[in-house]
Amino acid sequence: MLHITDIMGKKISKALAAVVLLVILGYFGGAWYSGTQADEQVNLRTQNINAQLRSNGLPVQVSSEKTDSGLFSSNYMLTLRIDNAGQSYSLDFNVHIEHGPLPLSRLQQGLLEPVQAYSHVALVNNEKTARLFELSQGRPPLQLQLTTHFDGHTQYQGHLASLSFNNQRDGQLHFDGMTFEGKIDAANRQAEFAGSMPLMQVTPPQNDNGTSTLILRDLALSSQYDGRNTETPLWQQQSTLAAFSLAGENAQLEIEQFQTDAKAQPSDNLLALQQNTVMNRVRINGVDLGKLQYAVAATRLDRAGAMQFMAQIWQQLAHTPGSGESGAPQQQWMPLLASLDLMLSNQPELALGPIIWTLPEGAAKASVNLSINNPVPLLSQFGNDPYALLLNTLRSVRIEVDADKAMPQGVADRLAQLRSPPAAAPETAARSTSAENLDAIIDVLVSNQLLFSKQEHIGLSVSLDGDPSLVSAGDINMNGEQFDPVEFVSAIQTRAAAAEQQIRQLTPQQPVSPEDPSQDDKGPDSDSQ
């Protein structure tokens, strides 16, 4: 598949590519002064942004040069230099700034509100970006219009041009372009972003494993950042996708009405992270797998540590080893470990779920909740014993599984369809027998108290707590029964052994075919030996 970095003829880290837009927007995150003071603002902003890039360990630098100036407007060349894997690459942008209070472009749009500046930013067509301009049919691949108001905040609107190609070397790409808008208010530590993309279709070139086609339809993204106080979420993000399709030679995955939202909620010096995802319809090879939704959460994270940890992760993603490096030196990971130590210093809680799978036959729900100690100080003592490290890290564990009684049969039916091609679908009688066996197996597990059954529901509930860790865990609760750790292990072993024997009795032995090669070395009395 042809990447933008390949079009430029250079290899640039994907993480660094995101810096391009952030740096451009950062230039306009404060107040522009009109007329002769524009130069002072450009120089000051260049110094501030470069200082922030260095403090975050990002190998990106920005520079600017005035190319023209007048009473009502000024022109600059903005250059982003990216140092990656021992080499340097650069991207150039034309910046045209119309001075306030009444920029001509806004007057032509009937906008009479006084502003400090109205700016237009566009990627420059040169030898580095010529291929991109060819694919976009001569239109600038990236354009931005920015309005800086007198109170210091800047509104922006942008557009990524549509791109397309189709050739044997690079495969196929059809990208309908993307529009986005938002605002930046550096003084009040606020930022907003919203973008939409109608369609993107990508088919990599053919290889030994064949090829595949990725299709995204009607993608919408939005995010908000508010660092002013702890009353509102520090960060929120939402995304929706009307349809996702990934089709290969022998398999196809389809998702309809995908939606995810995430937020970071501060409270004093702590931070809570949460993400919820819904896929309203999932299909694999044409088999309808129903609706899937899940949530992930982490609470009681140290706020400063979490921010440091994310910055360190960004730095590691941005670092690409050079040709003479076998990998990142150990000392490069020490700041990341220190940030992790601070982030997990307040006995955080982690939650996976509820995970809900819904079919026409019913629904199943599962969740796992963990309370943990900080594992970083334990590494020196238990680093060579993963099991001991796990027990000393965990403070409590709660596992809940609950399903409608008809759900297992629905799942078994979908699995049978996935295993068998449509032309060789199992006979109705065979599938009915399989469902009956599954019901019998569930009854065995219930009768042996490995699952619970209540009001047309089946499930499993396990919880255990320890102080200060699970090494000193007391009672263990399983399906309403209390055990001490020794009793729990013994009960599980006994019940599992009994259930296994009963399940084997439910499964009839298949007759052996005379052509079965496994019988070649067995005599007529082999069963009695």
Does 460 have pLDDT greater than 80?
yes
Q: What pLDDT, in 10s, does the model give residues 393-411?
A: 999 999 999 999 999 889 8
Which residues on adjacent β-strands are paired with residue 400? 367, 461
Q: Residue 378 has what DSSP assignment?
A: G
Rounded to the nearest 10 degrees, what angle do helices 303-318 and 14-27 cross at?
120
Determine the Cα–Cα distance for residues 232 and 18; give it in Å rounded to an integer: 26
Higher pLDDT, 507 or 364: 364
Predicted pLDDT at 125: 92
- Peptide bond between residue 101 and the one before it cis (omega within 30 degrees of 0): yes
Determine the Cα–Cα distance for residues 118 and 116; give it in Å rounded to an integer: 7
pLDDT band at 275 (very low <50, low <70, confident <90, very high): very high
Q: What is the overall mean pLDDT for the chain?
A: 83
Does 523 have pLDDT greater than 60?
no
Contacts of 492 (CB under 8 A, 6+ apart): 450
Segment of 117-131, 141-155, 293-307 carrying the highest mean pLDDT? 293-307
Does 199 have pLDDT greater than 50?
yes
Q: Which of 55-64, 106-115, 280-289 shows the lowest per-residue confidence on average (mean pLDDT)? A: 55-64
The length of the chain is: 529
Q: What percent of the chain has pLDDT over 70?
A: 81
Chain centroid to Cα 355, Å, comes to: 17
Contact yes or no for 198/220 (Cβ under 8 A): no
Contact yes or no for 431/388 (Cβ under 8 A): no
Q: Which of 85-94, 260-269, 318-327, 431-440 shows the lowest per-residue confidence on average (mean pLDDT)? A: 318-327
pLDDT band at 131 (very low <50, low <70, confident <90, very high): confident
Q: Which of 206-210, 314-318, 508-512 shows the lowest per-residue confidence on average (mean pLDDT)? A: 508-512
Average pLDDT over residues 290-315: 90
Predicted pLDDT at 10: 42
pLDDT band at 332 (very low <50, low <70, confident <90, very high): low
Contact yes or no for 175/162 (Cβ under 8 A): yes
**Residue 407 carries which side chain, given as an amino acid letter?**
M
Predicted pLDDT at 85: 60
pLDDT band at 319 (very low <50, low <70, confident <90, very high): low
Does 522 have pLDDT greater than 60?
no
Average pLDDT over residues 294-317: 87
Q: What pLDDT, in 10s, does the model give residues 469-498?
A: 999 888 899 999 999 988 999 999 999 999
Q: What pLDDT, in 10s, does the model give residues 57-105?
A: 677 888 888 888 777 888 889 888 887 666 777 889 998 988 878 888 8
Predicted pLDDT at 426: 47
Predicted pLDDT at 194: 96
Residue with tokens 């339809």: 217
Does 161 have pLDDT greater than 70?
yes
Q: What pLDDT, in 10s, does the model give residues 14-41?
A: 455 555 655 655 555 444 445 556 667 6
HEC string for 239-272: EEEEEEEEECCCCEEEEEEEEEEEEEEEECCEEE
* β-pairing verdict for 154-160 and 163-167: unpaired
Average pLDDT over residues 335-351: 92
